[in-house]
Amino acid sequence: MLKAFSTAATGMTGQQMMVDVIANNLANINTTGFKRSQINFQDLLYVKMSQAGAEVASGINSPTGLEIGSGVRASATVKVFTVGELDNTGRPLDIAIYGDGFLQVTMPNGDIRYTRDGALQVNANGQLVNTAGYSIEPAITLPTDAVAVDIGKDGTVNVTDVGGTTSVVGTLQLVRFPNPAGLSNEGDNLFSETEASGTAVTGTPGENGFGAIQSSMLERSNVQMVTELVNLITAQRAYEINARAIRAGDEMLRTATTIGR
Amino acid sequence: MEPTTQVSASIDALTRELEIITHNLANASTAGFKRRCNAFSKALDAQQGTAETYEPGNIDLESAFDFSQGSLVQTGRNLDFALMGNGLFVVETPEGPLYTRNGTFQTNQNGQIVDSMGRTVAGEAGPITVPVSVGLAQLQVSADGRVTAGDINIGKLQVVDFQENQSKLVPAGANCFVMPDKDIRPEPADNVVIKQGYQEASNVMIVDELVDMIMVTRLYEANMRYVSAQSETSSSIMGVAMG
C-alpha cells in the first residue's frame, strides 16, 4: 500500500496534539501563574533508496540521494517560563514573583511541590497556605493579634499587631532548577521535581537572579490569546491538508484498481 | 524502452513523489524543517535552464533538500534559537556530529544546553553549561552565538556551514542531518545571525505542495489510462489475429 497514507496520518496526529495543547493553554488564560506549553515536532526516520555520493558512472557521483521520510512526531511539550503580566489586586497576601523562582508547598504526605501561584491564604492556625490549603515552606505563622501583613521584596513577612508594633515573623524563600522545563506538571498550578529538572536550588528573593516578591500583585497566565488563535488556525489548516493528502492517495489507488476493466 | 515499461516506471516515480509531498506536509509545523524538492520543481528548473538535465520517464529522479530560509516565529522562550542565513547548529552524539536548523534547545539536569532528544549542543569550546547560580531567565545569546548568563561569558554556540557541499547532507531524522562523507569538514559559518526567542518555521509552502499533489494524482490517472488503453489495443489485435 501507499506509504503516503501512514505519513499523512502522522501529520494529522501531530496537528491534533497541537490543537490539544492550544486548547489547554486557552482554557488556562485566566489561571494565576499558569505557564503556556509549546509543542515541538521532529521528522521521523528516512527510508534510504539511494545514497548521496554513490558512484553512478565511473568518476561520476550522484550529487543527491533519495530518502523518503515517514512523517512527523511530537518530540516534546515544553513549558515556557516567561513572566506573565502582573495584576494589582490590593490584597496584601497576594504575591507575584517578578523573575525566576518558585514557591515551595508542602503536601499532606510531606512531599514538596513548586508553584508560581502566589495567592496565599491563612488557615485556622494562622499559617500561610496556598489556595488548596497546603502550607508554604518554610512554614510561616501569623500571630492571632496581627492587624496588618506586609510582604517585602526580599520575602520578609512583617506583621503589625494591635498596639502598632511591627515585627518580622518569617521569610519566604524561592527555589530554582537547572532545567525548569523538565519539571513535571501536577495540576492545581503545582510542579514536582524530576530527574530531568535537576535539584532545586534555594535562595532569597531578589538576590542572585531570583525574582523579587511583589506583594498585592498576582502573576497572570502568560498565554497570549492572539498567538494561540493564530496557532490554532495553522494547526487546523495543516490537519485539513494532511487529510487531503490521504484523499489524493486514495484517488490514485482507485485509478489503479480500475486498470483493465 | 517499451512504452508500458516506461509508463510503469513513471507510475513508480509518481508514487514516490506523493510520498515526498506527504512527508513535507506532515512536517508543515516542524521547526527548522527543510522541504524536499520534488521532481516537478526540478523539471520546471530544467525548462527554465537552471538545472543540469531532466529526462522524462527517468525513475531515479533524486530529491534534493531545499535549504531556503524559513520564516521566523517569535516564541519568547530563552532557549529557542533561529538561524538567519546559511548555517547549522552542531549536536554531539557518540556516532559523531549531527547538524540541525532546529534551535529548540533545553537544559538538562546539569544545566548543559541540549537538544530536544537530550543530546549535547556543541559550543566552540565544548558543551555550554548554564551555572546553577544564574537563572535561565538571565541567559542571553548574541547574534554571533556568544552565550552570557548574567554577566558571565559561558561559551559560544557552534554554527557551521558546508557551503557547496551542503547538498551532500543526508537526513538522520529528529530534525538532524548527517554528513556521510567523513572527509568533508564544515567551515565556521560567517553569514549567519542567531535570533534568541525565535523558532525558524518549516519552509514547506502548503499551497505549493497542494498544487503538486493535484498534479501527481492527475498524472497518475493519465498514466493508468494509458495502461488500460494499451491493454485494450493489444487485446483487439489479438482478437483480429486469432480470428
Percentage of chain B beyond pLDDT 90 is 37
C-alpha cell at A83: 513572566
* A2 contacts on B by Cβ (under 8 Å): 15, 18-19
Neighbouring C-beta atoms of residue B87, cutoff 10 Å = 23
Of A42, A52, A209, the CB nearest to B174: A42
> B171, A43: Cβ pair inside 8 Å?
yes
Q: Is the pLDDT of residue B1 over 50?
A: no
Q: Is the pLDDT of residue B23 over 80?
A: yes
Residue A97 identity: I
* A3 contacts on B by Cβ (under 8 Å): 19
Distance CA B128, CA B122 (A): 7
Averaged pLDDT for residues B168-190: 88
Q: Is the pLDDT of residue B240 over 50?
A: yes
Closest to A69 in 3D by CA, of A40, A45, A41: A45
Put simply, the chain B residues between 50 and 89 with a CB less than 8 A from any chain A CB are 60, 62-65, 75-77, 79
> B137, A81: Cβ pair inside 8 Å?
yes
Q: How far is CA A43 from the centre of its chain?
A: 22
Q: Is the pLDDT of residue B142 over 90?
A: yes
Residue A122, min C-alpha distance to chain B (Å): 30
Q: What does pTM read for this prediction?
A: 0.81
What pLDDT does B58 receive?
43
Residue B63, min C-alpha distance to chain A (Å): 6
Q: Which band of pLDDT confidence, cut at 50, 70 and 90, is reported for residue B102?
A: very high
Q: Is the pLDDT of residue B180 over 90?
A: no
What pLDDT does A164 receive?
85
Residue A208, min C-alpha distance to chain B (Å): 7
> B206, A15: Cβ pair inside 8 Å?
no
Closest to B27 in 3D by CA, of A154, A68, A163: A68
Put simply, the chain A residues between 84 and 143 with a CB less than 8 A from any chain B CB are 99-101
What pLDDT does B43 receive?
59
Closest to B194 in 3D by CA, of B22, B72, B44: B72
> B64, A11: Cβ pair inside 8 Å?
no
Q: What angle do CA A23, A27, A29 make, to 5 degrees?
A: 115
Q: Does A153 touch chain B (CB under 8 A)?
A: no
**Residue stretches of chain A with pLDDT short of 70:** 1, 52-54, 56, 61-65, 260-261
What tens digit of pLDDT does each residue of B43-79 get?
Answer: 555 555 544 444 444 434 455 788 899 999 998 888 9
- Alpha carbons within 13 A on the beta-carbon side of A160: 8
H helices of chain A, in order, are: 3-27, 225-257
Distances (CA, A) of B242 to B108, B158, B234, B238, B239: 78, 75, 12, 6, 5
Beta strands in B86-163 (DSSP E): 88-93, 96-100, 103-104, 106-107, 113-114, 139-141, 146-149, 152-156, 159-161
What tens digit of pLDDT does each residue of B219-238 get?
Answer: 889 888 888 888 888 888 88
